[in-house]
Amino acid sequence: MPRKTKETYEFSIEKSRFGLYTSVLKSGDRMVTGPTEAACRWVTENIHIPVLKGDFDGYTSIPRNSVVDGKL
């Protein structure tokens, strides 16, 4: 089965009447729903699309690192 090209992964972000954001492929397929536009875009670009392409390695953080960066 041939992999899809990058052009097929063009998407937009839509806001629902409930205040949530959903990424939608150009073909109309809905992908990710999130509480903010930034969060929805990040998950779509860094997790969902790489999974669809077969490029996702399973890590979104530094493995075996117990240090929390930033202010809690």
The answer to whether residue 59 is domain-embedded is no
The answer to whether residue 62 is domain-embedded is no
CA angle in degrees (0–180, nearest 5) for 64-68-72: 160
CA distances from 31 to 15, 20, 24, 56, 72 (A): 13, 13, 6, 16, 30
The answer to whether residue 11 is domain-embedded is yes
The answer to whether residue 26 is domain-embedded is yes
Kindly indicate the confidence band of residue 54, based on its pLDDT and cuts at 50, 70 and 90: confident
By three-state DSSP, how is residue 52 classified?
A: helix
Domains: count for the chain: 1
Q: Is the pLDDT of residue 59 over 90?
A: no
Query: Regarding predicted confidence, which is higher, 53 or 60?
Result: 53
CB neighbourhood size of 23 (10 A): 22
The answer to whether residue 45 is domain-embedded is yes
The answer to whether residue 68 is domain-embedded is no
For the purposes of burial, counting CB atoms within 10 Å of the CB of 46, is it exposed (0-12), middle (13-18) or buried (19 or more)? exposed
The answer to whether residue 64 is domain-embedded is no
The answer to whether residue 14 is domain-embedded is yes
Q: Is the pLDDT of residue 63 over 80?
A: no
Q: Whole domain around residue 27: which residue ranges?
A: 6-53
